[in-house]
Amino acid sequence: MATSSVSKGCFVFKPKDSKKRKTSVTADFFNKGKAVSENDRLRFSTYESLRQQMKEETEKLQDNLNAKIFDSLLAFIKKSHAQPHSKVNDWSYQMRCREIPTAALVLGVNVPDHEMTFQSLTDLLKQSLTPHVVCLQGKECTTVKQVLQKVLMHLMGSSVNDEEEDEDVHHSVDFSQRKVHCSMASLSGWYNATTQKSTSNSPTRKRKSSSLGQEQSPPIVIIFKDLESFLPKVLQDFIIISSNYIQQLPLVLVFGIATSPITIHRMLPHTVSSLLCIELFQSLSCTDHLATVIVKLVLTTKFPFKLSGKVLQVLISIFLYHDFSVRNFVKGFQLSLLEHFYSQPLSLLCCTLDEAKARVQNLTHDDCELIRQVPSIMGYVEDQDFEKQVKLLTNDQYLKDVVQKLLTGLHIYHTNYFPVLKCLHVFTSSLPKYPLGKQIRELYITCLEKNVWETEEYSSAFQLLGMMAKDELMCLLQKCIEVLKSSKQQRALTDTMQKLEEFLTKFQQPDNIASVEEVEEDEEHKTSPRKSLRKKTDLYQLQKTLMEMKKSKRSKKLSRFEVLRMEVLEFVDQLIRQYLLPPETQTFHEVVYFSAASTLRRHLNAAPRTALQTALSNPYYYLQNEVLKSEGGTITNTAPDICIVYKLHLECGRLINLYDWLQAFATVVSAAEEKDPDKMSNEQVDEVLHARFIRAVSELEFLGFIKPTKQKTDHVARLTWGGF
């Protein structure tokens, strides 16, 4: 076959392993090449415990979020092939029986999360409804024959024979396996034989109700994981074939849709879609799912590990601008946990408060020296008087006692922080244009990075709150009280909740009308400047009178509701300034907060072109071979062939002459092999260097640096410009 490539190549794509490979991290990973100490083992066990707890929490959360839609889907599948006796002769029921029951499951654009959802759905179906469940993917089913093969192989558990297969293929199959033809008739025969066999084994079930008879004939559920990836023609033919066997096979189709339900009608004409009885199922949006995950994993004191504002912003940016995958967000969170325990030796104190206090007493002198080098501890020492500074720097036991108090203060800080943050979100999430963000994650990032009360958005939010009506403000106060009740009660939060309840009680009382004297005095104050306008006056007196009227308008007396509303807002503002301080203000926060945003971004948001150019221009960066060290711009003759070819191609223009390129490559390589390039024979160049050169050029073409061109047959076109 003809090819436009510089050279032909063979590329191998390994299939997925049937068994998932599990990689385990050991305590050796944390010691960084040194001898494993007891603290390393303790740090590793703490990491493993936290990771397992977070994993169980996310799985539990996922099951709870999918429970509602899964229950509706199971109910639909159960009733899809039910045959009530009163409706057997009904014409409309007979028409519906000719249609294939189809569930359109709209999961959203977060495609990486779909695999976990379908796996949970498959397990649930097999446990509670039917063992006959098949999951199909578009990349594996490019023809109708492949679709039928996948369905029969998953259901029948035998090798599927096709009339077009060669005899060699027949011999490669074990004779113990039963071979059948790839057709729906074979599936129908197998299903009837299976159901009759199960019925004959339990004759007492024949006299039971029809609902139990449905259990003896479980439906066959075929799940199309990614409907948009299937070829429309393949999907149409399979539906037409299946509709002819719907009276013999209780088929149920499940369409996994990432975009919109209208996709079904775009892919299927009316003649085919009319063969389906479609019911729509809408899953929870990925943004709402993320908000729930953040509340359960981040905005809680259940897990001592925390993220800084920049790290959380990196994870959320990847979620919003790349994949909308909550699963990848959780993986990034777990990676942050691993990086924190790996890079921070004092992370062994990132545990519950009681465990941390016990571990502090077992710290060695070297651990105490590490504590003294923590930036926040250094600032804390500088703020103390001279005697305490000497004790903190010389007395290990005194330092341990102080660290225990600091850990207790950090725990109290988090216990008060999150309920107050949720209360602030309650007040600001319903404001017009959402000055502090609609989602609580936006408000949390702002509070982590700076003093939120110093921002313009905070000022505009409280200006809007100052114009809020009585009913709205009472509703917000009630929600805040519920938030504080659901949190772990501290002394400060209990007093705060009682104060909010007092405000709510005052709002529920009828407004007191101002006294008549105050009203008359106010009216007299308002009318007196106006009376002076009727008299003859000069320009100065007129300006003075207008200023008095403007001042009297500004100094209008507030009503009892307005005064009470102002008191509530002042109390909330004081609460925020007291408890929503950034984590950097807390001493010894480094032990629980992970702040290496650049490390996390390098791992999760990689730049492949930068990595390629770094590897090709400076191979020592990855290979760490001293021979490969070179000055900038020079070509090392001991570098790999592709690196030499890459650096040579940087010296060329848009079109590269292959012969000149080969001669330059031979010159550089011959210098490495201590050969005289002038004395080299053409045979040596053709047999050895030419093959190495073609292979390197082919690799550059595969990486996208060059391409063939029709302008000149002995030239290639360069696709990139400039080096790293």
Instruction: Give dist(CA 344, CA 361) in Å, integer.
Output: 19
Q: Give mean pLDDT, residues 665-693.
A: 70
List of long-range contacts for 49-53, beta carbons under 8 Å, 24+ apart: 50/303, 50/304, 50/305, 50/337, 50/350, 50/351, 51/334, 51/337, 51/338, 53/302, 53/303
φ, ψ of residue 553 to 5 degrees: the values are: -70, -40
Instruction: List, as one string, the DSSP characters of 316-345.
Output: HHHIIIII--HHHHHHHHHHHHHHHHHH-G
Q: Is the pLDDT of residue 54 over 50?
A: yes
Q: What is the pLDDT of residue 98?
A: 77
- Going by C-alpha positions, the residue among 364, 363, 361, 371 that lies closest to residue 393 is 371
Q: Give mean pLDDT, residues 509-525.
A: 47
Span 197-256, pLDDT tens digits: 765 665 444 434 333 344 558 899 999 999 999 999 999 999 999 999 998 889 999 999
Q: What is the pLDDT of residue 679?
A: 55
Instruction: Give dist(CA 99, CA 171) in Å, integer.
Output: 40
Instruction: Give dist(CA 685, CA 692) in Å, integer.
Output: 10
Q: Give mean pLDDT, residues 169-192.
A: 63
* Residue 183 confidence class, pLDDT cut points 50, 70, 90: confident
Token pair recorded at residue 72: 């509706």
Q: What is the pLDDT of residue 179?
A: 59
Token pair recorded at residue 627: 């021979």
Q: What is the pLDDT of residue 674?
A: 61
User: Which residue segments constitute the domains of the chain, with CATH numbers given?
Assistant: 92-164+177-199+208-284 (3.40.50.300), 608-718 (no CATH)
CA of 219: how far to CAs of 237, 251, 634, in Å? 21, 6, 69
Burial grade of 305 (CB within 10 A; 0-12, 13-18, 19 or more) = buried
Q: Report the percent of the chain where pLDDT is more than 90.
A: 55
Q: Give mean pLDDT, residues 75-88.
A: 70
Q: Is the pLDDT of residue 524 over 70?
A: no
φ, ψ of residue 656 to 5 degrees: the values are: -115, 125
Least confident of 488-492, 591-595, 615-619, 707-711: 488-492
Give the alpha-carbon dihedral of 294, 295, 299, 305, to 10 degrees: -50
Q: Identify which has the larger pLDDT, 250 or 179.
A: 250
Q: Is the pLDDT of residue 33 over 60?
A: no
* Residue 284 confidence class, pLDDT cut points 50, 70, 90: confident
Q: Is the pLDDT of residue 512 over 80?
A: no
Burial grade of 39 (CB within 10 A; 0-12, 13-18, 19 or more) = buried
Q: Quick check: 668 and 696 in contact, CB under 8 A?
A: no
DSSP state of 155: H
Burial grade of 203 (CB within 10 A; 0-12, 13-18, 19 or more) = exposed
Token pair recorded at residue 81: 């092939």
Instruction: Give dist(CA 716, CA 383) in Å, integer.
Output: 68
Place of tokens 């926040």: 376
Q: What is the pLDDT of residue 171?
A: 33
392: helix, strand or coil: helix
Task: Tell how strand 220-224 and strand 306-307 pair up.
Answer: unpaired
- Going by C-alpha positions, the residue among 223, 229, 15 that lies closest to residue 119 is 223
pTM of the model: 0.79
Span 383-398, pLDDT tens digits: 999 999 999 999 999 9
Q: What is the pLDDT of residue 94?
A: 53
Span 625-676, pLDDT tens digits: 888 887 666 777 788 999 999 999 988 888 999 989 998 998 888 776 666 5
Q: Give mean pLDDT, residues 253-272.
A: 93
What angle do helix axes 491-508 and 396-428 make, rounded to 10 degrees? 20
The whole-chain average pLDDT of the chain stands at: 82
